[in-house]
């Protein structure tokens, strides 16, 4: 090293790989983490809104459609004796003051039962 040429102590920034700007085809791809929370919140809000509107519309529609209570009827023994199921008619059964329609089981409550 005896030549008298000046030496470069620091390399040029263009020749140093750490100092060079990244080339366009070697750029670092930054990916955003995608989460489903935003979609869940939006779909949940839409679902709850639809349920609330449907409930309100149903209640508004049903408000005027109340059915009246049935009028109680007191049967006498003579009236109840007509409903024995003879000739395919109704079968009514009285237990402790309550009258029940038992026509669905004529083999048990009917004339032959």
In this model, does residue 2 exceed pLDDT 80? no
Cα–Cα distance for residue pair 94/109, rounded to 1 Å: 12
Q: How far is CA 65 from the centre of its chain?
A: 26
pLDDT tens string 64-95 = 777 778 888 888 999 998 888 888 788 998 99
Domain boundaries, the chain: 28-109
Cα–Cα distance for residue pair 107/105, rounded to 1 Å: 6
Among left, alpha and beta (phi > 0; psi -120 to 50; other), residue 14 is alpha
- Say if residues 74 and 94 touch (Cβ distance below 8 Å): no
Q: What pTM was estimated for this model as a whole?
A: 0.39
């Amino acid at each position: 090293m005896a030549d008298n040429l000046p030496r470069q102590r620091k390399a040029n920034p263009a020749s140093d790989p750490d100092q060079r700007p990244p080339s366009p085809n070697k750029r670092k791809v930054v990916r955003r983490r995608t989460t489903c929370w935003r979609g869940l919140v939006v779909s949940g809000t839409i679902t709850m809104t639809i349920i609330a509107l449907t409930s309100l519309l149903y209640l508004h529609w049903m408000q005027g459609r109340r059915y009246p209570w049935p009028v109680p009827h007191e049967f006498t023994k003579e009236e109840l004796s007509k409903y024995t199921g003879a000739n395919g008619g109704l079968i009514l059964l009285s237990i402790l003051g309550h009258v029940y329609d038992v026509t669905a089981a004529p083999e048990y409550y009917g004339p032959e039962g």
